[in-house]
Amino acid sequence: MLSYSELTPELKLLVLCSATGNEKKRNDINKLINSGINWSMFIKLALQHKVYPLVFQHLRALAHPNVPDKLLKDLYKLKKDNDFKTLQMVTEFSKILQALEQRGISVIVIKGFPLAQQLYGDITLRTSRDIDILISADDIAAARHIMEQYGYQWNHSLANATAGRLKKWMAFNQHLEYWHPERQICIELHWRLDCQSMELPFNLLRKNGVSMHILGREINVLGKEELLLYLILHGAVHRWFRIKWLLDIDIMIRKQDFSWEKLCLLANQLGFMVVLNQAFILARELLGTPLPRDISNRADMDTKAKHLACLALQFIKDNGFASKITFKTKAIILFKYTRYEFKLKTGWRGQFICIFRYFLPTESDLELVALSERLYFIYYIIAPLSWVYKRTRNVIKMLAKG
């Protein structure tokens, strides 16, 4: 059974110092701090879960005498670095967005600083590794040209491929990752929102998109129900190993500015109810997220969702800082990840696609041998053989090390 008590003291404190409404849990926070916290582990967890801006804000306001000054200084530096990076990304993205719009390319911004503004009213309180934008597949060629004009690079085997070959690759992929080597900024061009075969239809996202005024301009974002469902799918496929993703769900639910009926109808139509229920269970148990009685009861009756929530809790608890990772440990982790990924899929189609992904060519497969467009189908034969070879090679290396 899912249990908050299974978390380490450091992870418990991290959750309490990140969650909304933690003022009501001041006594719990004080007890944890007074009982003794491994502050070195605590700051590592804050970095891993990407919640250090929120943690710094709360611990500074708490002013507890047992919180080391060095910890606050380190958290402050991390937050200031994030503030600078966020403002740099916003400035850069404003130029890219203007260029895309001048070419008539309709853009929907996913997550990033608009989401931070929606959740916290402050673009610096939610960390972002990159800028994700959703555009039509028909606009990818024009968008790529603009990105390259601004100095961004797509370091991929297909960067200079023909249009036909790129189209074949795009059929089973969802984004191009462009990187600016000088500014150290990543922008992802998405033409679909596909979380390991759990896809939100592009036409639906465009139809229900809304605009928000931020930093002196209008920006298109996902509709509230579509955004919440996407955040849930994104967190689920990544095994919820970052508390940050659950915080997004918690805050959106607490704001109550979406339709529960529309959200559940959408999830049911797309076959994502299990994933939705898993997220509700995790958020309720770990963050105390308030749920309507019928929603909470429905989630509790979903045995598969409860099992997936328990599996996710194991990934959340696994901080990844073990001193020695043995071959046996790696094998167990790989097995757990694969089992979780397979169980996450609903119905035979989702599970078939989960297996089919192993037959899709990777970047290393494309680099291994150059084939013409006519022979591109051979990559689908190479891919599974390459996958088996890589896994076997890794096993042999591990055994050789003893």
Q: What is the mean pLDDT of residues 357-381?
A: 70
How far the first Cα of the chain sits from its last, in Å, is 37
* E strand or H helix that includes residue 61: helix 52-62
What CA–CA distance (Å, rounded) separates 121 from 140? 32
> Backbone phi, then psi, for 289, in 5-degree steps?
-60, 125
What CA–CA distance (Å, rounded) separates 11 from 246? 14
Residue of 17 and 347 predicted with greater confidence: 17
pLDDT at 8 over 70: yes
What is the reported pLDDT for 108? 96
Local structure of 288: helix, strand or coil: coil
Local structure of 162: helix, strand or coil: coil
What CA–CA distance (Å, rounded) separates 401 from 52? 37
The vertex-160 CA angle with 155 and 161, nearest 5°, equals 115
Lowest mean pLDDT, pick from 15-24, 140-149, 171-180: 15-24
The strand pair at 193-195 and 185-190 is best described as: unpaired
What is the reported pLDDT for 232? 97
Q: What is the mean pLDDT of residues 220-239?
A: 95
List 199's β-bridge partners, or say none.
194
Per-residue pLDDT band for 16 (boundaries 50, 70, 90) equals: very high
Q: What is the mean pLDDT of residues 318-341?
A: 66
Residues 6+ apart with CB under 8 A from 282: 2, 240, 246, 309, 312, 313
What is the reported pLDDT for 164? 80
What is the reported pLDDT for 317? 84
Name all contacts of 44-47 with Cβ < 8 Å and 24+ positions apart.
Answer: 44/319, 44/321, 45/10, 45/11, 45/14, 45/319, 46/14, 46/75, 46/78, 47/78
What CA–CA distance (Å, rounded) separates 43 from 50? 10
Per-residue pLDDT band for 155 (boundaries 50, 70, 90) equals: confident
Per-residue pLDDT band for 3 (boundaries 50, 70, 90) equals: low
Per-residue pLDDT band for 191 (boundaries 50, 70, 90) equals: very high
Determine what percent of the chain is predicted with pLDDT higher than 70. Answer: 84
Nearest to 243 by CA among 5, 19, 8: 19
What CA–CA distance (Å, rounded) separates 108 from 155? 24
Residue of 221 and 375 predicted with greater confidence: 221
What is the reported pLDDT for 402? 45
What structural domains does the chain harbor?
Answer: 1-67 (no CATH), 87-222 (3.30.460.40), 227-324 (no CATH), 327-400 (no CATH)
Per-residue pLDDT band for 353 (boundaries 50, 70, 90) equals: low
What CA–CA distance (Å, rounded) separates 209 from 60? 38
Q: What is the mean pLDDT of residues 160-171?
A: 81
pLDDT at 321 over 80: no
What is the reported pLDDT for 165? 78
Lowest mean pLDDT, pick from 262-266, 320-324, 371-375, 377-381: 320-324
pLDDT at 374 over 70: yes
What CA–CA distance (Å, rounded) separates 218 from 212? 6
What is the reported pLDDT for 184? 92
What is the reported pLDDT for 375? 73
What angle in degrees, to the nearest 10, is found between the helix axes of 224-237 and 243-255? 160
pLDDT at 238 over 60: yes
Residue of 311 and 321 predicted with greater confidence: 311
What is the reported pLDDT for 329? 64
Determine what percent of the chain is predicted with pLDDT higher than 90. Answer: 62
Per-residue pLDDT of 266-312, as tens digits, reads 999 999 999 999 999 999 999 999 999 999 999 999 999 999 999 89
List 190's β-bridge partners, or say none.
134, 175
Q: What is the mean pLDDT of the chain?
A: 86
